[in-house]
Structure 1
């Protein structure tokens, strides 16, 4: 897909969820992930996939000891599927670059299989998430100085398109409105309830 450098690409994780098989949705609806403490420091030495979605598994993640102190209660554990509280739509919202552990199960009563091998987690995520990476499913709005772009962070992923260093800094101001509660999945998740 050809585009101008420096734009921001968006795609819908509601659409990603809709592209999943029944078996994949069954697992995703009942499973959750745990992100690394200080996730962007943890993965800071890692190489991104050429698509901008996910990381290459080269073992370059920092160890927990290298991250410095953190409070366990601040480690994020989220359902794989987030339900929009207004529309009821389901979105497959796993941030593959930050996942350190996955808890996989197919029902509320099943004991989860804990996966802490990030290469295995990424191998499972990649074919699911890359289905939506087709030109007809990607939005690349051209923005000019003064424009405002808004999106539903509970349903959409975004990534920056490469911007050559010799053009100078790519400037984009981002503002977030913090949620008063975390995302809710289709079923209660033990580690986030």
Structure 2
């Protein structure tokens, strides 16, 4: 029996994958089974394969590259490193690299002894909203009432020089055995109960569908300009309480104080990206890193106004009914379509609790595009493993 995909019951997105009998490594799937996996990822946006605790970093890296023939297949270029580990970057404490396969990052929480995948003793820190949001929860709210926040809604990408990865793979190796429930309370009274440390996902297609027809038309012609070295640029600033964007207080690092940067490497991407399989439009924007928003009619919104505008567009999509919060079990391998979803860390851990995960995403060789309605069904998109990247043909 071949690979099967079963939609998650009662969830707004996501599906469970059952590998073919006898297959324990998804990077070794046949071309036919991988095509099913590829199409399923673009349709369901998040796929979960249970029982992958022993998947090697090499196999995880190989599987990740299989979803994008335009990305570097040699392992020499993978799209993170200096940009993410810079001592001023907001991402600097979020993990460490596996020595033999630096394309794979080790994420989690707690102190770990030497020996894991060739690493010396290391300490992991789960990203928490306390030192990133402008107005964080109190300790009483977080640790006694078990409230939490979306840390930062985002797309995995350097957003400077490099193109956004097509997919991310995230493997849960060690998960606290008695995870407790935590709750997100929205500004409008909406609530979302989730398991401690759940990863939250929303569909960019759902976000686009929630816009009015007039807003959709305007969004289809819009471009997002990201700040140079965006994670360093925003490091002195603080985020909104929903994790969608930054509060504008003129605290950002001045452009002339950033590490050297080139105008040609500043990323300008469509506000809307087209799914190469379903042909759906996805509102895909990293609200925290936006610098400028440009519309087809010549209107340009600068930093604060750009943030306000994307926040207005993004906010309906994170309502609790639209969120899939993955409850991690040891061995879960989550594969998500990074060009079709936004995701966020949630939760906080108590002293002594530990978690260990492997994450991999590889910068693509080409930027995403927004196809016009005229070309949407006219373009022949070769999305099978080994394609030439025709999904990148611009309208």
- TM class, shorter-chain normalised? 0.7 to 0.9
2:235 is the alignment partner of 1:44: yes
Could you say which residue in structure 1 is the equivalent of 2:360? 175
Aligned-partner Cα distance in 1 for 2:301–2:240: 21
Aligned-partner Cα distance in 2 for 1:23–1:167: 51
Match of 1:115 among 301, 316, 320: 301
What TM-score, normalized by structure 1, do the two folds share?
0.86
The Cα shift of 1:170 comes to 5.4
Could you say which residue in structure 2 is the equivalent of 1:133? 318
Across the two proteins, how many residue pairs are aligned to each other? Answer: 183
Could you say which residue in structure 2 is the equivalent of 1:163? 348
The Cα shift of 1:167 comes to 4.8
CA contact (8 A) 1:6 1:170 kept: no
CA contact (8 A) 2:194 2:327 kept: no
Greater RCO (CA < 8 Å, at least 6 residues apart): 1
CA contact (8 A) 1:31 1:102 kept: yes
Aligned-partner Cα distance in 2 for 1:19–1:130: 10
The Cα shift of 1:98 comes to 0.8
2:252 is the alignment partner of 1:61: yes
2:203 is the alignment partner of 1:12: yes
Aligned-partner Cα distance in 1 for 2:355–2:242: 19
Deviations 1:56-81 (CA, angstroms, capped at 9, x unpaired): 22222111111120122221110100
Could you tell me which runs of 5 or more consecutive residues in structure 1 were left unpaired when the two chains were aligned.
Answer: none
The Cα shift of 1:51 comes to 1.7
Could you tell me which runs of 5 or more consecutive residues in structure 2 were left unpaired when the two chains were aligned.
Answer: 1-191, 373-393
Give SS of 1:150's match.
strand
Aligned-partner Cα distance in 2 for 1:68–1:28: 32
CA contact (8 A) 1:47 1:56 kept: yes
Match of 1:149 among 318, 323, 334: 334
Deviations 1:31-68 (CA, angstroms, capped at 9, x unpaired): 10110111111111222222222222222211111112
Could you say which residue in structure 2 is the equivalent of 1:21? 212
Could you say which residue in structure 1 is the equivalent of 2:153? none
The Cα shift of 1:146 comes to 2.4
Aligned-partner Cα distance in 1 for 2:344–2:282: 17
The Cα shift of 1:20 comes to 0.3
Q: CA RMSD in A?
A: 2.0
Aligned-partner Cα distance in 2 for 1:75–1:168: 39
What TM-score, normalized by structure 2, do the two folds share?
0.44
Structure number with the higher strand fraction is: 2
The Cα shift of 1:178 comes to 2.7
Aligned-partner Cα distance in 2 for 1:30–1:171: 41
The Cα shift of 1:152 comes to 0.6
CA contact (8 A) 1:11 1:139 kept: yes
Larger radius of gyration: 2
Q: Cα–Cα, structure 1 residues 14 and 160, in superposed 2: closer, same or farther, change >3 Å?
A: same
Aligned-partner Cα distance in 2 for 1:113–1:152: 31
